[in-house]
Amino acid sequence: MKVVLKLIMVLALLWLAGCSSTGGSKSDGVAVEDRSDSGAAVTDATTTGVDGYGNLTIESLSDPNSPLAQRVIYFAFDSSEVAEQDRPLIEAHAAFLAANPTVKVTLEGHTDERGSREYNIGLGDRRAQAIRRMLEFQGVSPNQITVVSYGEEKPAVDGHDESAWSMNRRVELVYAGH
């Protein structure tokens, strides 16, 4: 019995050692920290996804022709997956936030009225967290982002049909002071 236990422990240690990482690499334009043999961090980090939005300023938040004027992302029923057509909008907000590290945004998750209150709070949070992850992946500091879920409590549109429900399944980007 002791021999079997020792064998299991050795195999577990070997498995864990095989899972360890000794550094990173850079692939597909995503910067991953890598360390030289001396342990110093390599400093050739790059980010992607924010190109083409370098001219966004604080004034862009008030400009109706700016991509930053659009601050609502809609979701499919019972989903927290960001639609492909909304990704450029999120990229624009990420570029703006990354270029303005003192600006803060609150991501407010919402749902339609279907489902329990508890489920909808969770779904609203998953939706806002999906946007948060995308922003952070594109260089926005976690300190700039606050996430809150209102679930079904703050509908954008009153009604009990698909036209109302589709407008209530959303995440709103609310900039501090704007």
* Beta bridge pairs of residue 15: none
CATH code at position 166: 3.30.1330.60
In a domain, 51, yes or no: no
Mean pLDDT of the region 6-26: 47
Query: 111: alpha, beta or left, given left = phi > 0 and alpha = psi -120 to 50?
Result: beta
Higher pLDDT, 23 or 133: 133
What pLDDT does 20 receive?
Answer: 41
**Residue 124 and residue 154: Cα distance in Å, rounded?**
11
Domain that holds residue 80: 58-175
With CA atoms as reference, report the closest residue to 22 among 40, 35, 11. Answer: 35
In a domain, 22, yes or no: no
What is the tally of structural domains in the chain? 1
In a domain, 40, yes or no: no
In a domain, 151, yes or no: yes
The pair of structure tokens assigned to 14 is 């070997």
Higher pLDDT, 171 or 14: 171
Higher pLDDT, 59 or 86: 86
In a domain, 168, yes or no: yes
What pLDDT does 178 receive?
Answer: 62
In a domain, 38, yes or no: no
Higher pLDDT, 8 or 35: 8
The pair of structure tokens assigned to 121 is 């709070």
With CA atoms as reference, report the closest residue to 78 among 171, 172, 173, 169. Answer: 169
In a domain, 128, yes or no: yes
The pair of structure tokens assigned to 62 is 């008030």
In a domain, 98, yes or no: yes
pTM for the full model? 0.70
Residue 82 is classified by DSSP as P
